[in-house]
Amino acid sequence: MTIRPSRRDFLRTSLLGSASLALLDPARALAVREEPPMRFIFLHRGNGLWPKVMVPPSFSEEQRAADRLRRPLEVDLDGHELPAWLQPLAAHQGELTLLQGISGKMCTTGHHSWCSALGAFKANERLSSIRWATVDFELARLFPSPAEHIELACFPLGGGNARGSLDGIATGFSARGPQQPNYAFGSPKVALEELFKSVSEDADARTRYALERRLLAFLGEGEGARASLLEGLERAKVQGYADSIEAIRERNRRIDGMAERIARHVPVLDASALSGEMTTIERQQGHVEVLLGALVSGLTNVVAFTVDELGHDYTGIRGIEGEKVNMHDVGHGKSFGGVTAEEIRERARTHHMELVDRIVTRLKAVPEGEGSMFDRTLLLYFPDGGETHHSHGTEYPFVVLAGSKCRLNLGRRYLRLPDYGQPGHATLGNLHTTLLNAHGNAIEHYGALDTGLDRFGLDQKGPIPALLS
């Protein structure tokens, strides 16, 4: 079952979600940090990511053999040639880590994973399958912002996850908490209108924003008065709702206080994205502009972007721009426009890296402290379902870009961790535990355990030592 919220539902749940941190820990939410926050960008895509395409062609035969046999391997990327599809990142090779050997068999794999990879648990399109907040939301709560978390997506139109809402707002691929799916923007235009409406040049948009604020003030006063007339559990429930409304109003006040900065960084979208007539490539580019505007303006510190999904029909692929490419068929080896499935995958990946280059280059150009915004940014690109089209979850390759202030041992590395079942093997749960531990949440372990690893007698809990600074 796919859950499609109305625009009103989306606004209510997203605003309540952004207020939850303040309600749970107001002191942390309002604390003034002495230094800029960390930012996290999660770019995930469907149809798998083959481990073999991650290997630099300049590796020695000995290094290639070790990688092919999935033996532990660490290589300094200095002086090495990146695979062709990773060439757009050549200027950022000093901040690049190619991470191999992470497994995720505790997740839903195969065609559709929904929020599995970000949550390290099995998930499907039922609310009951969401066991806890995905790691991107946990990180967003460690680095509070007015919008808390923003999710963008290129939705599929058929098969798996949110479908039929290419340009709308629909169930996303992240989760706020148990049985709480997040909602994602499918259209860059809609994302622009909703996220930046407080400083919109459109008079109607500003009027709607003012009316929303008045409505919240009216509801808050009414629910507060109602709570005073009740007792016990009913009073607690109504007071909680009143407190939530007040937290949303506080969020709006903080956004209003940032109006000048937000106005300076409103994304400028191409005409195609504003008209709604866009190719997949143009949609992805539009989402990147929204992503950058939201981060640079300070609206959020965490963005999740589903760059594509298995049921998405690609348009605008270089060399076959006029073709509508079904990525599920590509996964089964079908050619389009005379181009082989493998080459189509290569062109899609290359474009993804061009998007990553645009993000990193722009953040490097924004001054912050003694350096740039990118210094405190961690970007992860990975497959949401594993290593192949019909994946088994034995490997989730990661392309990671990390700024100099990142609290992990990353940059200029090719790192293959021990193979599945071998001592030192790591899972997605270990990776997410590492991210949380390094950034202020000393959790023993995040995510579900892989029961298949029990027979090897491995300790599955804790962070990954090789990634800790």
The percent helix, strand, coil of the chain (3-state, each to 5) is 45, 15, 40
pLDDT > 80? residue 469: no
Tokens representing 37? Answer: 């926050």
- What is the overall mean pLDDT for the chain? 84
Indicate the residue type of 194: E
Backbone phi and psi for residue 260, each to the nearest 5 degrees, phi listed first: -65, -45
Strand partners, 171: 183
Calpha distance 414→97 (Å, rounded): 6
| For residue 161, pLDDT beyond 80 | no
Q: How many helices (H) and strands (E) does the chain have?
A: 14, 14
Task: Assign 227 a pLDDT band (cuts: 50, 70, 90).
Answer: low
Q: In this predicted structure, which of 155-159, 206-210, 281-285 has the lowest mean pLDDT?
A: 206-210
Provide the strand spans (E) within 232-307.
Answer: 302-306
Q: 287-320: per-residue pLDDT in tens? A: 999 999 999 999 999 999 999 988 888 999 999 9
Does residue 63 surpass a pLDDT of 80? yes
Give residue-wise pLDDT tens across range 405-455. Answer: 999 999 999 999 999 999 999 999 999 999 999 999 999 999 999 999 999
Name the band, by pLDDT with cuts 50, 70 and 90, for residue 224: low
Question: Does 158 have pLDDT greater than 70?
Answer: no
386/397 Cα distance (integer angstroms): 8
What pLDDT is stored for residue 229 in this prediction?
A: 64
- The token duo for 377 is 């940014």
How far apart CA 326 and CA 341 sit, in angstroms, is 10
**pLDDT for 218 beyond 70:** no
- Neighbouring CB atoms inside 10 A of 328's CB total 20
Mean pLDDT, residues 346-372: 97
The backbone torsions φ and ψ at residue 223, rounded to the nearest 5 degrees and listed phi first, read -70, -35
The secondary element (H helix, E strand) that includes residue 7 is helix 7-24
- In the predicted model, what is the mean pLDDT of residues 166-195? 89
Whether the CB-CB separation of 300 and 151 falls below 8 Å is answered with no
Average pLDDT (368-394) is 93
Give the predicted TM-score (pTM) of the model. 0.85
- State the Cα–Cα distance between residues 222 and 216, nearest whole angstrom: 10
E strand residue ranges, 6-80: 39-45, 73-76
Tally Cβ neighbours within 10 Å of residue 416. Answer: 24
> What pLDDT score was predicted for residue 275?
77
pLDDT digit string, tens, across residues 103-149: 999 998 877 788 999 999 999 878 889 999 999 999 999 999 988 89
**CATH T-level assignment (fold) for domain 7-196+274-467:** Alkaline Phosphatase, subunit A (3.40.720)
Where do the domains of the chain lie?
7-196+274-467, 210-265
| Residue 212 predicted with pLDDT over 70 | no
